[in-house]
Amino acid sequence: MVNQLNRQMCSQLSEIKQFELLTTTIENYEAKESNLIQILHIAQVIFGYLPENVLKFIAKELSMPYSKVCGVVSFYSYFSTLPKGRHTIKICLGTACYVRGGTKLIEKIKELLSIDVGETTPDMKFSFEVMRCIGACGLAPAMAIDDKVYKRVNPNKLKQILDQYS
């Protein structure tokens, strides 16, 4: 079941059911400290982010210090301790995208959504991130919203693209 998890499905579960699913996950990974990163990845899918109570639960179940779990979470940029929006916008700042205007896309997103990189809109609709490479260098600048990649994006196209997610 855990392999078939998705964020939307898990967000509809009660907190009790989410913790039951996390408990099953930890049991499936034999509550081993060596499986911490995999457990954290699945916990983030289940809860949408990694709140303090979830991190403390994982630490307890793995018989690890809470500080060590927090250290892993803070080291890897994939993990988030803050709630995420329904959609995640990622602007590429790899070399090609940077040279071809990636920073202009960032400025326009900030203007349109009134949030900064790493933040989420108050309505929880969008989270905003940058990444180092989307893999569309020949079609730079590029951005992604969730799993959809947009190529040759210019700031004038951004409002139209974002409106698709209303």
**Judgement on whether residues 9 and 37 belong to the same structural domain of the protein:** yes
Counting Cα atoms < 13 Å in the Cβ hemisphere of 33 gives: 9
Candidates 93, 165, 70; CA nearest to 124 is 165
Q: What is the pLDDT of residues 101-151, one digit of tens each?
A: 999 999 999 999 999 998 999 999 999 999 999 999 999 999 999 889 999
Q: What is the pLDDT of residues 5-17, one digit of tens each?
A: 676 677 778 889 9
Peptide bond into 122 cis (omega under 30): no
**To 10 degrees, what angle do helices 52-61 and 15-28 make?**
30
In a domain, 82, yes or no: no
In a domain, 91, yes or no: yes
For the chain, how many structural domains are there in total? 2
Q: What is the pLDDT of residues 55-86, one digit of tens each?
A: 999 999 999 999 999 999 999 878 999 888 88
Range of the domain at 113: 87-163
**Judgement on whether residues 53 and 94 belong to the same structural domain of the protein:** no
Asked which of 49, 75, 101 is the last residue of a domain, the reply is: 75
CA distance 58 to 157: 43
Question: pTM of the entire structure?
Answer: 0.71
**Judgement on whether residues 105 and 158 belong to the same structural domain of the protein:** yes
In a domain, 149, yes or no: yes
